C-alpha cells in the first residue's frame, strides 16, 4: 500500500521550496521503489485566505491519516495584524499539538563547501555537528493561563511556562537515544538559577540520565549556552531543551553553520505521523521571486525518508546530492557572504542541480 504524504506548502517561500522538495522526493521514491501517494493541503495564511482559519479540521484529519507531513513555512505581513490565536502560526502550533509531535529534531552541521559562508571564522565553524532536541508541544507556547486583560485600567498580558515530569522525561529520552547514535554527549539547556520549571527539568534529566551511564551529560544555562554556541560550537553534540529556548537556540545554531536556508527539521511523537519542515521561515521579502534556497526543504525530505519511510539509503543519497551540488560551487543568494561576487541560482535551478546529482 502506498504511503500517504501530505504536503502543506503554506506561505511566502513555502510553496517554492516544497515544490523542489516534492520533485526530489518523487525522484528518489521512484528509484528506490517506494510507493507514495502525495497530496496537498493548505495551512497558515493560505488557509486563512481559503477558509478563514489557519488549519481546517479536514486538513488535520488528512494529516492524521498520513505517514508523514512535509511542510513549507507559515506567516507573512498580510496576516500580522491578526490576534495570536488566529494568525498563520497558530496552524503550525495546532498541527504539532494535535499530532502529539513533542520531539523536534534540528540537526545543524557544516557542509565543508559552506564553511566560509558563516560569519564566524572557518576554524571555529569547521566540524560543527550538533543536534538540537527541542520540546515542541509544551512550555510557554501552550501553557495556561494565557491572554490579555485590562487590569485597573492598564493592559496586561500573560503566558505561562509549565512542564510536568512526563513531558520532560520523554523528550530527554529522545535526546539520550539520539546521543547514543552520535558522540554520546547531551547538554541540557536551562535557566535553573531563576525558573522553577528549569529546576524540575534538572531533576528529571538527571533521573533519566541514570538509565544512560554510557552518555555524558552537562547542564548549561541558556544565556551562557547562547554565548558558547558562537565561541566554541564544536563542543556540542546533542542539546535538549524546552520549547522557547529551543526555538531561539536552533536559529542561532543554524546561522553559525552558514545559512538558515540549509537547516531541516523533523517533529516526531508517539503516534505514527512525522512532520518535516525547513527551520527557516516564510521569508516574505523574497517570496515568489525564485530566489529562495530549497536545500533545507530538500534535506527535510532526507529526514522524512529516514524517519518515516525507513529508507536510510535513499536519505543518504539526497544528502550526498546536496553535498555534491554545493561542492561543485552552486549557491543560492543566501549562501553568499556580504560582498562576495559569484553567480547565484534560483530556487528552481537549485532543485534542478540536486535532481541531476541524483541521477
Binding residue count for ligand IPM, defined by CB under 6 A = 6
Which of the listed partners (Mg ion, ligand IPM, none) does 89 bind, with a CB threshold of 5 to 8 Å by partner kind? ligand IPM
Q: DSSP letter string over 279-344?
A: SS---GGGTTTT----HHHHHHHHHHHHHHS--HHHHHHHHHHHHHHHHTT--BGGGS-TT-----
Spell out the residues 6+ positions from residue 249 whose beta carbon is closer than 8 angstroms to its own. Answer: 132, 189, 222, 225, 226, 229, 239, 241
Identify which of residues 48 and 93 has a Cβ nearer to ligand IPM in the complex: 93
Give the pairing of strands 185-190 and 216-221: parallel
**Catalytic annotation present for 223:** yes
Residue 276 has phi, psi (to 5 degrees) of: -125, 130
Burial class from Cβ neighbours inside 10 Å (0-12, 13-18, 19+) for residue 86 reads: middle
How many whole angstroms separate alpha carbon 84 and alpha carbon 314? Answer: 39
Check 141, 163, 212, 276 and give the catalytic one.
141
Q: Does 135 bind Mg ion (CB under 5 A)?
A: no
Per-residue x/- mask for ligand IPM, residues 65 to 94, rule CB under 6 A?
A: ---------xx-------------x--xx-
238-257 positions binding ligand IPM, by CB under 6 A: 247
Cell of 26: 518523487
The nearest distance, CB 106 to ligand IPM, in angstroms, is 8
CB of 327 to ligand IPM, least distance (A): 29
Site for Mg ion in 141-160 (CB under 5 A): none
Q: At what angle do helices 347-358 and 14-31 cross, to 10 degrees?
A: 10
Active-site entry in 80, 223, 285, 310: 223
Q: Which is nearer to ligand IPM, 16 or 89 (CB)?
A: 89
**Which residue's CB comes closest to Mg ion?**
247
d(CA 301, CA 348): 16
With CB under 5 A as the contact rule, the residue among 16, 237, 247, 306 that binds Mg ion is 247
Where do we find the cell 512525522?
274
Any contact of residue 16 with Mg ion (CB under 5 A)? no
Q: How far is the CB of 237 from ligand IPM (least distance, A)?
A: 21
Tell me whether residue 251 is one of the annotated catalytic residues. yes
Q: Which does 303 bind (CB under 5 to 8 A by kind): ligand IPM, Mg ion, none?
A: none
306 is a contact residue toward ligand IPM (CB under 6 A): no
Per-residue binding letters, 253-282, with ligand IPM (x by CB under 6 A): ------------------------------
- Residue pair 271/100 in contact (Cβ under 8 Å)? The answer is yes
Say whether 191 is catalytic: yes
- Sign of the dihedral defined by the CA atoms of residues 351, 352, 353, 355, in that order: positive
Q: Give, to the nearest 10 degrees, the angle between helix 88-98 and helix 57-64.
A: 40
Binding string to Mg ion for residues 177 to 216, with x set by CB under 5 A, is what? ----------------------------------------
Active site residue 164: no
Residues marked active site are found at 141, 191, 223, 247, 251
Q: Binding residues for Mg ion, per CB under 5 A?
A: 247
Q: Binding residues for ligand IPM, per CB under 6 A?
A: 74-75, 89, 92-93, 247
Amino acid at each position: 500500500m502506498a504511503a500517504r504524504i501530505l504536503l502543506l506548502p503554506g506561505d511566502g517561500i513555502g510553496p517554492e521550496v516544497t515544490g523542489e522538495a516534492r520533485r526530489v522526493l518523487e525522484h528518489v521514491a521512484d528509484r528506490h521503489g517506494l510507493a507514495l501517494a502525495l497530496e496537498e493541503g493548505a495551512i497558515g495564511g493560505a488557509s486563512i485566505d481559503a477558509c478563514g482559519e489557519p488549519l481546517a479540521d479536514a486538513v488535520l484529519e488528512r494529516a492524521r491519516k498520513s505517514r508523514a507531513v512535509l511542510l513549507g513555512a507559515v506567516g507573512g505581513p498580510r496576516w500580522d495584524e491578526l490576534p495570536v490565536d488566529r494568525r498563520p502560526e497558530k496552524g503550525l502550533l495546532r498541527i504539532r499539538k494535535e499530532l502529539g509531535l513533542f520531539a523536534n529534531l534540528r540537526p545543524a552541521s557544516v557542509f565543508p563547501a559552506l564553511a566560509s559562508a558563516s560569519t564566524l571564522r572557518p576554524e571555529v565553524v569547521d566540524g560543527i555537528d550538533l543536534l538540537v532536541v527541542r520540546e515542541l508541544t509544551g512550555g510557554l507556547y501552550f501553557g495556561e493561563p494565557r491572554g490579555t486583560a485590562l487590569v485597573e485600567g492598564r493592559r496586561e498580558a500573560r503566558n505561562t511556562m509549565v512542564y510536568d515530569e512526563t513531558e520532560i522525561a520523554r523528550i530527554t529520552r529522545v535526546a539520550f537515544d539520539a546521543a547514543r547514535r552520535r558522540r554520546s554527549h547531551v547538554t541540557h539547556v536551562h535557566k535553573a538559577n531563576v525558573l522553577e520549571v528549569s529546576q524540575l527539568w534538572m531533576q528529571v534529566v538527571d533521573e533519566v540520565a541514570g538509565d544512560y551511564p554510557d552518555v555524558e551529560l552537562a547542564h548549561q544555562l541558556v544565556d551562557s549556552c547562547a554565548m558558547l554556541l558562537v565561541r566554541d560550537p564544536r563542543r556540542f553534540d546533542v542539546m535538549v531543551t524546552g520549547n522557547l529556548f529551543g526555538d531561539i537556540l536552533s536559529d542561532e545554531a543554524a546561522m553559525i553553520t552558514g545559512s538558515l536556508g540549509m537547516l531541516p527539521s523533523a517533529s516526531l511523537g508517539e503516534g505514527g505521523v512525522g512532520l518535516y519542515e525547513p527551520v527557516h521561515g516564510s521569508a516574505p521579502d523574497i517570496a515568489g521571486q525564485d530566489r529562495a534556497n530549497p536545500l533545507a526543504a530538500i534535506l527535510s525530505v532526507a529526514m522524512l525518508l529516514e524517519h518515516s519511510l525507513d529508507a536510510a539509503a535513499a536519505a543518504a543519497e539526497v544528502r550526498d546530492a546536496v553535498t555534491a551540488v554545493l561542492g561543485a560551487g552552486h549557491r543560492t543568494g543566501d549562501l553568499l557572504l556580504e560582498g562576495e561576487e559569484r553567480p547565484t541560482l534560483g530556487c528552481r535551478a537549485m532543485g534542478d542541480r540536486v535532481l541531476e546529482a541524483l541521477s
